[in-house]
Amino acid sequence: MSATVLPPPPLQSERPLLKKILEQTDASLSPVLEITRDNIAVVWISPLSIRLTLQMLKEDSQNCLMLFDLTAIDERDRIHREGQPASSFTVVYHLMSLQSAADEVRIKVALPDHSPSLPSISDIWPNANWYEREIWDLFGIHFDQHPFLRRILTPPTWTDHPLRKDHHARATEKPPYSLTEDQEKYEQDALCFDPSLWGMKRHSDHSDFMFLNLGPNHPSVHGVFRIVLQLEGERIVDAVPDIGFHHRGAEKMGERQSWHTYIPYTDRVDYLGGVMNNFPYVMAVETLAGISVPPRAQMIRVMLAELFRIASHLVFYGTMAQDVGQLSPVFYMFTDREKIFRIIEAICGFRMHPAWFRIGGVAMDLPVGWEGLIRSFLDYLPKRLDEYDALVMRNPIFRARTQGIGAYTKAEAVEWGVTGPGLRACGLEWDYRKHAPYACYDQLEFDIPTGQNGDCYDRIVVHIEEIRQSLRIIRQCVDHMPSGPVKAEHSLTTPPPKARTMHDIETLIHHFLNVSWGPVIPPGEARACVEATKGLNSYSLISDGGTTSYRTRIRTPSFAHLQMIPLLSRGIMIADLIAVVGSIDFVMADVDR
């Protein structure tokens, strides 16, 4: 691997994860340190040492090192790669220490254009299984010794690999679609279920197994999600999740839209999270551009994000009760959610998908009367939550259906990349807003709710207490909202303040170009992460010095969480699986993107 060995970025040589990697990597293979805009340690190592390095890191971590993300980059059209090793495809392993959220590292491996491959690490970190399948599906990079390397987000009959730069981004780039009778038969045959292809046996020594498609349907599996069950009676022998029905190519679209016009697409990822999806995206762009967001805009962002956290958790709470047989709570909680949407609509102009955050701040200032709307809701919801405690959480049938069901330990949660309420329900007091504060969270007081047993019931308890803490955060935002601008005074802020366009032609031209073509973001790489409604959500962006992203990587919590279903399902009844699936708190757009 030939490249210029760069000096370590400031402070990176003192980070424990980076020090371990440099100590364990063979010096003859010349590890290369890369400087990125987000100040996360980045080290390039040889494909020959990647598996051994990761294995040693895992063994030294004492179950506190998480494989946070695993993705790839098609480097073949990239221009600005100064200081990086030659590479046609790059595989990126993002590791995070739960002992310190600031101790993160990205390990990069350069691969050739022809037959790129790496050894699988799914036996080291089990959550690598789906990530490696995703890379194979979207980039065509093979992982040797992977137990089940097949397409995961696209249909089994798909040709080529969509995130390669030579794959079309729009249907209009291809001839009109047609389906002959032979093609239709081919597609139908590909849908036939063969248990052996899913790693399942038809028989045991004493019985024949039954196979059941659970989903896609709504409710129970929450939409376009399928679980193939291997059953002995009503007891589950094995369960294999099947995703990809909802895949819309959000990352591919991020490479064709301008930096500004991509913001509405982010709303549709976790479609219950609203502006919470804008948050990490605009923060990553701001890091690339060097934009400092004004304090008022920061606090407005936090206030709206917490309102959407409550709205999402209310949906989870109500549908979870519905999944195990209670019909009334979901109607009451959707009524409460409607009150939140009225506030969101009054401030943003839209309800579920306001796309209201902007590069450099927010779309506009708060309207007249916003404070009264929010204070009224802050006084209203706590009493309703008390009623729901009696209606749902103290209901003996609900307790019987959720306590002791679908439990996992802290070590298992870290192994599988679980974040958010699902991680805290195991007793681990870890929240990104506290451990790596962003926006103005370091100025606000709130507690981190935790559970003890890591079961369905504790996951619900954590969600409910998080609603109360979000109310507490919002009240502080209302009480201490600073004055000042809501958008940065920076040339790459998009769009510039519209009022100024009426005073000089230069600003009017700037406004027009930023909206129509988009700002030109300097070359570089940055990643931003937030504690979203369902766990950690991050955007990793690469700019090649143009008006669009060269690579947009969306790391969503739901994708990692659904991998645990086989572990949680084996040996339980079908009815218990419904409770397990509901307690995970996911939406399929967050999984498939």
d(CA 520, CA 547): 5
Greatest distance between any 2 Cα atoms in the chain: 84
pTM (whole model) above 0.85: yes
Task: Among 119, 135, 161, give the residue marking a domain's end.
Answer: 161
Shared domain for 260 and 157, answered yes or no, is no
CATH number at 90 reads: 3.30.460.80
The answer to whether residue 351 sits within a structural domain is: yes
Residue with tokens 């969509």: 162
User: Nearest-CA neighbor of 328 among 406, 400, 404, 398?
Assistant: 398
Predicted pLDDT of residue 299: 96
Between the two ends of the chain, the Cα-to-Cα distance in Å is 34
DSSP 8-state code for residue 175: P
- Supply the DSSP string of 372-409, one letter for each residue: HHHHHHHHHHHHHHHHHIIIIIT-HHHHHHHTTSS---
Residue 156: cis peptide before it, omega within 30 degrees of 0: no
Predicted pLDDT of residue 500: 73
437: left (phi over 0), alpha (psi -120 to 50) or beta: beta
Task: Determine how many CB atoms are found less than 10 A away from the CB of residue 589.
Answer: 23
d(CA 24, CA 54): 10
Contact assessment for residue 259 and residue 520, using Cβ atoms and an 8 Å cutoff: no
DSSP 8-state code for residue 502: G
- Phi, psi (degrees; rounded to nearest 5) at 376: -60, -40
The answer to whether residue 362 sits within a structural domain is: yes
Helices (H), 86-144: 128-139
Predicted pLDDT of residue 63: 64
- Supply the DSSP string of 247-271, one letter for each residue: ---HHHHHTTSBTTTTHHHHHTTST
Return per-residue pLDDT of the chain as tens, 593 residues: 333 333 444 444 457 777 777 777 665 556 788 888 888 889 999 898 899 889 888 888 666 889 999 999 999 999 999 889 999 999 999 999 888 766 889 999 999 999 899 999 999 999 999 999 999 999 999 999 999 899 999 988 888 999 999 998 888 888 888 889 999 999 888 888 888 888 788 877 777 888 888 878 777 778 788 889 999 888 999 999 999 888 888 999 999 999 999 999 999 999 899 999 999 999 999 999 999 999 999 999 999 999 999 999 999 999 999 988 888 999 999 999 999 999 999 999 988 899 999 999 999 999 999 999 999 999 999 999 999 999 999 999 999 999 999 999 999 999 999 999 999 999 999 999 999 999 999 999 999 999 999 999 999 999 999 999 999 999 999 999 999 999 998 888 877 777 777 777 877 887 788 778 888 999 999 999 999 999 999 999 999 999 999 999 999 999 999 999 999 999 899 989 999 999 998 988 899 88
Residues forming a β-bridge with 232: 235
CATH number at 484 reads: 1.10.645.10
The answer to whether residue 242 sits within a structural domain is: no
Shared domain for 332 and 456, answered yes or no, is yes
Predicted pLDDT of residue 203: 78
d(CA 34, CA 421): 33
Q: Where are the beta strands (DSSP E) in 45-135?
A: 65-74, 89-97, 104-111, 117-119
3-state secondary structure of 536: strand
Burial of residue 426 (number of CB atoms within 10 Å: 0-12, 13-18, 19+): buried
Shared domain for 255 and 143, answered yes or no, is no
The answer to whether residue 438 sits within a structural domain is: yes
Shared domain for 18 and 146, answered yes or no, is yes
For residue 136, the enclosing domain spans 12-161
- Phi, psi (degrees; rounded to nearest 5) at 544: -105, 20
Task: Among 131, 161, 191, give the residue marking a domain's end.
Answer: 161
d(CA 437, CA 166): 39
3-state secondary structure of 294: coil
Shared domain for 328 and 431, answered yes or no, is yes
Predicted pLDDT of residue 100: 73
How many domains does the chain fold into? 2
User: Nearest-CA neighbor of 228 among 207, 211, 243, 245?
Assistant: 211
Residue 252 amino acid letter: K
The answer to whether residue 468 sits within a structural domain is: yes
Shared domain for 365 and 489, answered yes or no, is yes
Task: Determine how many CB atoms are found less than 10 A away from the CB of residue 145.
Answer: 11
Q: How far is CA 219 from the centre of its chain?
A: 23
The answer to whether residue 241 sits within a structural domain is: no
302's tokens: 């936090």
Distances in Å between the Cα of 152 and the Cα atoms of 147, 155, 170 are 14, 8, 21
Contact assessment for residue 236 and residue 573, using Cβ atoms and an 8 Å cutoff: yes
Shared domain for 118 and 267, answered yes or no, is no
Task: Determine how many CB atoms are found less than 10 A away from the CB of residue 307.
Answer: 25
Burial of residue 108 (number of CB atoms within 10 Å: 0-12, 13-18, 19+): buried
Residue with tokens 């919590």: 557
The answer to whether residue 283 sits within a structural domain is: yes
Shared domain for 148 and 260, answered yes or no, is no
d(CA 516, CA 151): 36
The answer to whether residue 178 sits within a structural domain is: no
Shared domain for 304 and 407, answered yes or no, is yes
Predicted pLDDT of residue 14: 58
Predicted pLDDT of residue 102: 67
Task: Among 161, 192, 211, give the residue marking a domain's end.
Answer: 161
Predicted pLDDT of residue 26: 63
Task: Determine how many CB atoms are found less than 10 A away from the CB of residue 24.
Answer: 17
